[in-house]
């Protein structure tokens, strides 16, 4: 079945880095734009980043621009998020999500992986 | 990239209808027909309920409907059922490959 599974979350000290991964299965990964969305504890959803299906175009929210890098490997059906210079404000559940179509909503979500930035 | 504005809470009795609003600007909700709505239960991932303002993905009950007028989108849940109690989030494409979410609305079935 169509599935996204995130991994890589954990506890990290402020200023350090962490890399999240998202494994896709059950659909033709290379034909979909993919996003990262996060949710701080007890808070709402926040869009983080998008990477187009071919991996050649990447865009970020202002809050992570310059610190986070999204990438994908269409041969391995994987999506990654490299997070540098982490701060307490980055503490959240990170979800990967599939875009239904260009500029459209997100129809498939992973279960999320928790990132806690704390000393 | 300001968040879309949703009421923090909404409620209704079983069988009633409830409408949740989502207010943005002409740069997001008002400028594109790419408004989506998500249902989220505690501890679970969001689920797409409405896309492109009015479209229901396969499997979503037709009790859920979406609309838009100007810079405000709305989600209406008709014939409320106990299982509709959840958090609901709107989202909109905001141009230049940016997306924005609303702050979320907690729907309570009385």
pLDDT digits (tens, 9 = 90+) for A2-32: 999 999 999 999 999 999 999 999 999 999 9
For A29-79, the pLDDT digits (tens) are: 999 999 999 999 999 999 999 999 999 999 999 999 999 999 999 999 999
Shortest Cα distance from A75 to chain B (angstroms)?
Answer: 25
Measure CB to CB from residue B57 to each of A47, A107, A110 and give the nearest one: A107
From the number of C-beta atoms within 10 Å of its C-beta (0-12, 13-18, 19+), residue A41 rates as: exposed
How is residue A72 written in tokens? 């994908």
For B64-107, the pLDDT digits (tens) are: 999 999 999 999 999 999 999 999 999 999 999 999 999 999 99
Does the distance separating the beta carbons of B46 and A44 come in below 8 Å?
no
Buried b / exposed e over A101-110, threshold 16 CB at 10 Å, is eebbbbbbbb
Does the distance separating the beta carbons of B46 and A100 come in below 8 Å?
no
- Could you write out the DSSP letters of every residue in chain B? -PPBB--SEEEE-TT--EEEEEE--TTTTTT-S-EEEEEE-TTS--EEEEBTTTBPPTTS-TTEEEEEETTEEEEEE-S--GGG-EEEEEEEE-STT-EEEB--EEEEE-
Does the distance separating the beta carbons of A44 and B51 come in below 8 Å?
no
The residue among B48, B101, B103 with the most chain A CBs within 10 A of its CB, best to mutate, is B48
pLDDT band at B2 (very low <50, low <70, confident <90, very high): confident
């Amino acid at each position: 079945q169509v599935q996204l599974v995130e991994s890589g979350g954990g506890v990290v000290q402020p200023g350090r880095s962490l890399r999240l991964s998202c494994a896709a299965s059950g659909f033709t990964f290379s034909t979909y734009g993919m996003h990262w969305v996060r949710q701080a504890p007890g808070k709402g959803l926040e869009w983080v980043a998008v990477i187009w299906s071919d991996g050649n175009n990447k865009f970020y929210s202002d809050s992570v621009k310059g610190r986070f890098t999204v990438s994908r490997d269409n041969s391995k059906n994987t999506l990654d998020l490299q997070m540098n210079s982490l701060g307490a404000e980055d503490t959240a559940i990170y979800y990967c999500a599939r875009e239904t179509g260009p500029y459209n909503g997100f129809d498939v979500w992973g279960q999320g992986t928790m990132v806690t930035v704390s000393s | 990239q300001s968040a879309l504005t949703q009421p923090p809470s909404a409620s209704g009795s079983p069988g009633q209808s409830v409408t949740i609003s989502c207010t943005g600007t002409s740069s997001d909700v008002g400028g594109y027909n790419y408004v989506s709505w998500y249902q989220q239960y505690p501890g679970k991932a969001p689920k797409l309920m409405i896309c492109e303002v009015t479209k229901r993905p396969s499997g979503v009950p037709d009790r859920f409907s979406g609309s838009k007028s100007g810079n405000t989108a709305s989600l209406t849940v008709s014939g409320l059922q106990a299982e509709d109690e959840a958090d609901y989030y709107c989202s909109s494409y905001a141009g230049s490959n940016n997306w924005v979410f609303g702050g979320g609305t907690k729907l309570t079935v009385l």
